[in-house]
Amino acid sequence: MSRKIYEALRWASSFLMEHKRDANAGELLLQHAVCMQRSQLLASMQQELTEEQETHFITMVEQHAAGVPVQHMIGKEQFYGRSFFVNGDVLIPRPETEELVWHTLEMAKKRLAAADQMVMADIGTGSGAIAITMKLEWPELMVYASDVSEKALQTAKLNSEALQADVHFIHGDLLAPFIEKNMKLDLLLSNPPYIPLADKKDLSPVVADHEPELALYGGEDGLDLYRRFSEQLPEVLNPGAFVGFEVGAGQGKAVAELLQQAFPQALIDVKNDINGKDRMVFMEI
């Protein structure tokens, strides 16, 4: 006889905890296996799973225990209240990046609202989460999104179409395509790779084995991309431009110093995330 929904959840919870995974992942996987929203699932605890549903669910739970991200199995992740397609070609959007967007909207809207057509770029867009969210939350922006990975851009385009966000996509490495086209930006956001190579051994297999290396590692100390940004930014920013970076915990001061060297007159602010870690650096020139 098949398990009931509450029995399946109880099994998944203990199985995942045994394998040092988040016990709550079982609920997301079961929602996917039975095609139910969370509220429906919670209202159907006594319902029996079909044999096919139970087999599918057990397989996914075992795969997650072995390190496959939940988001890769269900094919999506929530970001800023919207659902984004994700896969092995893009970094799975995270809550810290939602904070980067929230602070930018709070700060940049006040500073830039008086300008005419403002141009924004999301560099290393991945799934497109930052660019698409900014366009939908601030429709007046002209938004560009770039990535060095063609496959990442394909995923970002899928998301922009699904969410009906008018974002322009550019293939290229960091700011090179903007410099080549002599484009100027009023607002630049990026969540670049910032994990030091030495930390690779400490990462969960869910991240290390399944997320794109291109989106994770920032050289020996994790700061390589910020160094390159600091060299290139003076060529693309308009006067009064606003820049926001996500950084690794403990990197805020170093990134702020790199930016201050490039822009001695700029106002630079390191902000902590909800957990009290320095995860964002903002600059106004």
Tell whether the model's pLDDT for residue 71 goes beyond 70.
Answer: yes
Would you say 125 is a known binding-site residue?
Answer: yes
pLDDT, residue 205, reads 72
255: confidence class by pLDDT, cuts 50, 70, 90 = very high
Tell whether the model's pLDDT for residue 207 goes beyond 80.
Answer: no
- What are the pLDDT digits (tens) for 157-183? 999 999 999 999 999 999 999 999 999
Would you say 193 is a known binding-site residue?
Answer: yes
Tell whether the model's pLDDT for residue 218 goes beyond 90.
Answer: no
Would you say 186 is a known binding-site residue?
Answer: no
Would you say 147 is a known binding-site residue?
Answer: yes
Q: Structural domain boundaries of the chain?
A: 5-66, 77-284
**Which superfamily, per CATH, for 77-284?**
Vaccinia Virus protein VP39 (3.40.50.150)
Would you say 278 is a known binding-site residue?
Answer: no
Strand 142-147 relative to strand 82-85, pairing: unpaired
pLDDT, residue 268, reads 97
Would you say 194 is a known binding-site residue?
Answer: yes
272: confidence class by pLDDT, cuts 50, 70, 90 = very high
- What are the pLDDT digits (tens) for 107-165? 888 777 666 679 999 999 999 999 999 999 999 999 999 999 999 999 999 999 999 99
pLDDT, residue 72, reads 87
23: confidence class by pLDDT, cuts 50, 70, 90 = confident
Note the pTM of the prediction, 2 decimals: 0.89
2: confidence class by pLDDT, cuts 50, 70, 90 = confident
Tell whether the model's pLDDT for residue 199 goes beyond 90.
Answer: no
